[in-house]
Amino acid sequence: MENRYNESLNLRCRYCMNKLVALFIIFSPLCAADWRLNSDSSHLSFVSIKNGVFAEVHRFKSLTGGVNEEGDAAVRIGLASVETNIPIRNERLKSMLFEIATFSLATVNSKLNMSDFISLPPGASLLALVPLNINLHGIDGKIPASVKVTRSSESVWHVVSIQPLILDASNYKLAAGIESLRAIAGLNDITTVIPVTFSLEFTRS
């Protein structure tokens, strides 16, 4: 009996350690960030399309993140901060789609060539294709983002999507949640293909 208890305890300890290591890998760029994301000046929006013709824009109010000198970039999206301008719909998205009790965050990570951005003089911009690693609803995915990077001042950079990212919710096991939302709202259809746009401001510390 004692051996079985010890074995079970060891398994739980190893599981907890693996989770801690994973969290450290995800959040270490944020802890050592040389460029901090300015949440109040940053925006991330997505569009839902209903019955094939009605489109509505929603957003997330909680964005945190940063970039370190080595070019490790990370952005965390608080899924509980989703804002659709209809309170009951906010709650449905949190519980039925994102399942925030289990998946409270979405994360976006990338590896950047910082020399391209640091060398920009204030007021100058460049276009870049940035590879993004997305973790949403416990699923990892990759997508390239076409962005415009502007150095607004000596210490501030803006990163703006120049075309929408197209996410297929079914790739992140969100299709069932979308179907539940469709049914409860009495709609004929909610598309699983979701355009996403963003405007991010980073300040160098």
Same domain? For 145 and 191 the reply is yes
User: Checking DSSP bridges between strand 35-37 and strand 43-50, what pairing results, if any?
Assistant: unpaired
Same domain? For 26 and 124 the reply is no
Same domain? For 18 and 77 the reply is no
Summarize pLDDT for 134-191 with one digit per residue, the tens. 999 999 999 999 999 999 999 999 999 999 999 999 999 999 999 999 999 999 999 9
Mean pLDDT throughout 97-116? 97
Same domain? For 103 and 11 the reply is no
User: What is the reported pLDDT for 23?
Assistant: 43
Same domain? For 124 and 45 the reply is yes
Summarize pLDDT for 38-62 with one digit per residue, the tens. 999 999 999 999 999 999 999 999 9
Q: 37 lies in which domain range? A: 33-204
User: What is the reported pLDDT for 12?
Assistant: 52
Same domain? For 22 and 100 the reply is no
User: What is the reported pLDDT for 10?
Assistant: 52
Estimate to the nearest angstrom the gap between the alpha carbon of 92 and the chain centroid.
Answer: 19
Q: Whole-angstrom Cα distance, residue 113 to residue 198?
A: 20
Could you give the number of structural domains in the chain? 2
Same domain? For 27 and 44 the reply is no
pLDDT score of 16 more than 90: no
Same domain? For 19 and 49 the reply is no
Is residue 45 within 8 A of residue 57, CB to CB? The reply is yes
User: What is the reported pLDDT for 17?
Assistant: 46
Same domain? For 24 and 40 the reply is no
Q: Whole-angstrom Cα distance, residue 179 to residue 191?
A: 9
pLDDT score of 20 more than 90: no
Q: Which residue has the higher pLDDT, 205 or 155?
A: 155
Same domain? For 21 and 113 the reply is no
Same domain? For 137 and 166 the reply is yes
Q: Whole-angstrom Cα distance, residue 179 to residue 192?
A: 9
Same domain? For 115 and 165 the reply is yes
Q: What confidence tier does 120 reach under pLDDT thresholds 50, 70, 90? A: very high
Estimate to the nearest angstrom the gap between the alpha carbon of 130 and the chain centroid.
Answer: 14
Summarize pLDDT for 74-104 with one digit per residue, the tens. 999 999 999 999 999 999 999 999 999 999 9
Q: Whole-angstrom Cα distance, residue 41 to residue 79?
A: 18
φ, ψ dihedrals at 17, nearest 5°? -65, -40
Q: Whole-angstrom Cα distance, residue 120 to residue 124?
A: 6
Instruction: Give the domain CATH number at 38.
Output: 2.40.128.110
Q: What confidence tier does 133 reach under pLDDT thresholds 50, 70, 90? A: very high
User: What is the reported pLDDT for 205?
Assistant: 85
Q: Whole-angstrom Cα distance, residue 29 to residue 72?
A: 6
User: Checking DSSP bridges between strand 165-168 and strand 139-151, what pairing results, if any?
Assistant: unpaired
Question: Model's pTM, two decimal places?
Answer: 0.83
